[in-house]
Structure 1
């Protein structure tokens, strides 16, 4: 059984009645709440903004509490702010002139309009009626981005205090990887920033569990992990973090609605993965088996 111990209108944190494991699951892109202020500022339709979502990926983690894990989830939509981007990840051309000096050397995603505030989508164009100004940026960061990371940091620190270490599983979903892109054909991608955010025992355990689904699995290609695991994964301090990207065709229909026939088994698989991870910790003590 799980219970909420923190909930705002933008972020929810739940944990089991007994925090049986050091695992924290983060779900940053499944939020389906679109505040009125956001929709009023939008040039794009809500249906177009929903393309930013990792649609229904929170349902994959539906049994995480049964597995003894805490869950930190963004309830507000990714269109408000992308919690898997750092606050400085924006292209100067995507913000109002007064903000441009604070952004420099944008990467490929920022230049494509996918910074900490998403501003453009292919085949849609600009998402907002006006460039992001200082007030709009502050509202987005203060309402969603900062509360999410504060809640995640608190949950991980609580797990580390209770268990001596913490494990972050950052759950996302992805479109099918196109031909010509690194990792093409992979249906699940495990990211650990090329060894920076987790020790090998955790990554090996997650990869082995993913391979049991019988689909191609890639490590760090094309997604090595974003801001969430980069900022919270600290193996030297006992906090290990991996990002999991799951091909949406494994649990969604073509209209991006949940496919119950696929989603149930995938949720069961994720539940099992969390159990594998909890048992794989090198310092874990196996619980005694009940007599036959």
Structure 2
């Protein structure tokens, strides 16, 4: 967690996929080299949004990588094909995310390459959930609760990045920013509109809910009728990094500054009030 000196705004930022601390045992179990296994990473996204704590909002980030454990999934979205033993009955083995190979413990990286060289032990994966997934979500829920108690509402900004192109598609159709609000269910429409307008005014091309409407975090925490709004932001990696070398490019500093402007605009909008809110504590 990157803490502000004082939380001054009803925002909580989250970067669940920017972690790059790869356990040695995980790398040893993978059939991929250290470069290819990073293809699911939202590299440097926590740094791009570092202005949020400077503006008075906490930023929760995962240090472990998405390929090791994905906290933007249900806790037990697991693929039976990846394991030696039978999975427990409470596991969701039939979700679309599991079918695509991108469950809580992923079978593939973003370009469809298999991660593991051999089947996994169920106990080892369940330990990942207990030791990393549950503490991450406990802290995120705690900060949302504290924010809503203090300000009367909480606004969760879930920060991600997306490849600049998709295999077999024209890269020119890829927008700079994708705003996801689960098709209007995870936050007040006025907040989504304000976010899209802010990015467009800065000069970005923006898409709404296509191709990313928001994952488990946006869906699970977004309760606009109860004063908790969750909005997912996807940033085109081509704007700020060399995607083959996993290095920041010449546009990184400028983009971080533009995201700081976006944060300021959205925080100013939220200060004007919108949608239902609980009575804030004195």
Q: TM-score range by the shorter chain?
A: 0.7 to 0.9
- Single out whichever of 183-192 and 215-224 deviates more from structure 2: 183-192
Tell me if the contact between 1:48 and 1:124 (Cα under 8 Å) persists in the aligned partners.
no
Secondary structure at the aligned position of 1:172 is classed as strand
Q: Is 2:217 the partner of 1:234?
A: no
**Aligned-partner Cα distance in 2 for 1:165–1:15:** 19
User: Given the alignment, which residue of 115, 125, 139 partners 1:151?
Assistant: 139
Look up the match of 1:256. 246
Give the TM-score, by structure 1 length.
Answer: 0.85
Among candidates 50, 74, 91, match of residue 86 of structure 1: 74
Aligned residue for 2:210? Answer: 221
Q: Is the 8 A contact 1:59 1:263 kept in 2?
A: no
Distance of aligned partners of 1:176 and 1:100 in 2 relative to their CA distance in 1, 3 Å threshold: farther
Q: Give secondary structure in 2 for the equivalent of 1:46.
A: coil
Q: Aligned partners of 1:229, 1:43: CA distance in 2, in Å?
A: 32
Judge conservation of contact 2:198–2:266 (CA < 8 Å) in 1.
Answer: no
Task: Answer yes or no: is the 8 Å Cα contact 2:85–2:122 preserved in 1.
Answer: no
In 2, Cα distance between the equivalents of 1:18 and 1:122? 38
| Alignment check: 8 A CA contact 2:4 2:53 kept | yes
2:273 matches 1:283: yes
The alignment of Structure 1 onto Structure 2 pairs a total of residues equal to 269
User: In structure 2, what is the Cα distance between the partners aligned to 1:42 and 1:163?
Assistant: 45
Q: Does 1:72 align with 2:52?
A: no
**In structure 2, how many angstroms separate the alpha carbons of the residues matched to 1:138 and 1:88?**
8
Show the counterpart of 1:164.
152
* Structure 2: runs of 5 or more not aligned: 275-282
- 1:17 equivalenced with 2:39 (yes/no): no
Tell me the equivalent position of 2:40: 52
Post-superposition offset of 1:154:
0.9
Structure 2 Cα separation of the partners of residues 123 and 157 of structure 1: 37
Alignment of 1:93-242 (within 5 A): 93-99=81-87, 102-107=91-96, 109-121=97-109, 125-178=113-166, 184-242=173-231
Query: 2:277 maps to which residue?
Result: none
Cα deviations by residue, 1:62-88 (Å, 9 ceiling, x for unpaired)? 211111111000011112201111123
- Structure 1 residues 190-241: Cα deviation after superposition (integer angstroms, max 9, x where no partner): 0000111100121111101111342321000110000111111111221101
* Contact 1:79–1:118 (Cα < 8 Å) also in 2: yes
- In 2, the alpha carbon distance for the partners of 1:59 and 1:75 equals 12
Cα distance, 1:121 vs structure 2: 3.4
Asked if 2 retains the 8 angstrom alpha-carbon contact of 1:201 and 1:280, the reply is: no
Whether the 8 Å CA contact 2:16–2:71 is kept in 1: the answer is yes
Structure 1: tracts of 5 or more residues without a match: 1-12, 285-292
CA RMSD after TM alignment: 2.2
Structure (1 or 2) with the greater strand fraction: 1
Report the Cα distance in structure 1 between the residues aligned to 2:78 and 2:8, rounded to whole angstroms.
Answer: 39
The TM-score normalised by the length of structure 2 is 0.88
Instruction: Report if the CA contact (8 A) 2:162-2:236 is conserved.
Output: yes
Could you tell me whether the CA contact under 8 Å between 1:82 and 1:116 is conserved in 2? yes
Cα deviations across residues 41-97 of structure 1 (Å, max 9, x unaligned)?
223222221111111111111211111111000011112201111123233323334
8 Å contact from structure 2 (residues 40, 110) kept in 1:
no
Aligned partner of 1:5 in structure 2 is: none
